[in-house]
Amino acid sequence: MATTLELAKSLLSPPGDTIQEHIDLIGMSQVELAERMGRPKEKINDVIKGREPITTATAFQLEKVLGIPASFWLNREKTFRKELYELQQQEELEKEKDWLSAFPINEMQNFSWLPPRKEKHILVDNLLKFFSIASTEEWERIYVHKEVSVAFKISLAHTQSPHAISAWLRKGEIQAKEIDIAEFDKKKFKEALTEIKELAFLMPDDFTHQLQKICANCGVAVVFTQNLPKAPISGATRWFHNKPIIQLSGRFRTNDHFWFTFFHEAAHIILHGKKDIFLENVEGTQIDEEKEEEANTFAAKILLTDNELLQIIEAVPLTEDMIHEFAKQFRTPTGIIIGRLQHLKLIPFHIGNGFRQKIDLFN
């Protein structure tokens, strides 16, 4: 039984059908038409059968011989080739169902990353447009076979879900393109971290907007992207089209995790190269332990200097009032101090969690 696509292709009418209808009407054979056009009869038959396109030269020859304007034949040819190409594309896209099924399509549509369509060939087409690629082979080359990619410098081949992770990262690139940022100024960005630390302490309702604005003025795009299933990424840092991007998910939904992740990503931009890509909480990617430790140390000292931490440690055991007082004195979120003390095992992990401020970037 013929498929819908096969039926559609069989019903598609090439411009040669119109040529044949017209010469039948006037009693002219294909051989005579070829002779009058000065073309081999085999070539004219190929044109009539749709195997060969009607070129500009052919269209004007038809105009002279049949008296029908060249513009008619060129438009007819253009429409036919467009419809034929669309049907051929549908056939190719239908073959990509396995690739499509690996993506969290429902969530991507719920987040409005993709249009709400159900037809598989349209979904594949929309996904290709989302990634700005021509075919699924390009997705493989960019996100899996890093040795041939100039668009993405690491391989996601051994991660839990390269499809979901690549979609999350791609959304960050799309978001970053929508932000108007200044030319990157490393010195200015580093100096701005003091202002950003104060923002972390104050936590106004519009802290995400203020953070984006401060960073944009320094030439850094900060974007907030919802996590996808099987892509539990806390943050990512990379350069895309000469623009440094800090992409955050707010995964753990507390201010201490959010701000440590931000300053950790900021450290990668300040300390490390433009060719590096850093993905946080993604197993299966090659990790530069030395650079990650440098970023951890940088973030920790921004939020709480060694001297400040020493003053807090010397005051152990601490009361809640003392912790709040240190937070005010050092302009550091209380949750950050709690997290540091827990990390150093100076207080149990179940103590002080109420000091952490809950955040939700997307509600």
Tell me phi and psi for residue 310, to 5 degrees. -60, -40
Domains and CATH numbers, the chain: 4-94 (1.10.260.40), 99-175 (no CATH), 177-303 (no CATH), 304-363 (no CATH)
- DSSP class of 238: E
H-helix or E-strand spanning residue 119: none
* Residue numbers of the chain with a pLDDT score lower than 70: 1-3, 5, 146-151, 153
Please tell me the predicted confidence (pLDDT) of residue 88.
Answer: 80
Please tell me the predicted confidence (pLDDT) of residue 1.
Answer: 38
Q: Which two tokens stand for residue 3?
A: 């498929």
Rg from Cα positions in the chain: 31
Concatenating the DSSP letter of every residue in 26-49 gives HT--HHHHHHHHT--HHHHHHHHH
CB within 8 Å of 56: residues ≥ 6 apart: 70, 74
Please tell me the predicted confidence (pLDDT) of residue 151.
Answer: 58
Task: Encode pLDDT of 329-360 as tens digits.
Answer: 999 999 999 988 888 888 887 777 788 889 99
3-state helix, strand, coil in the chain (%, to 5): 60, 5, 35
Q: Which two tokens stand for residue 23?
A: 């010469």
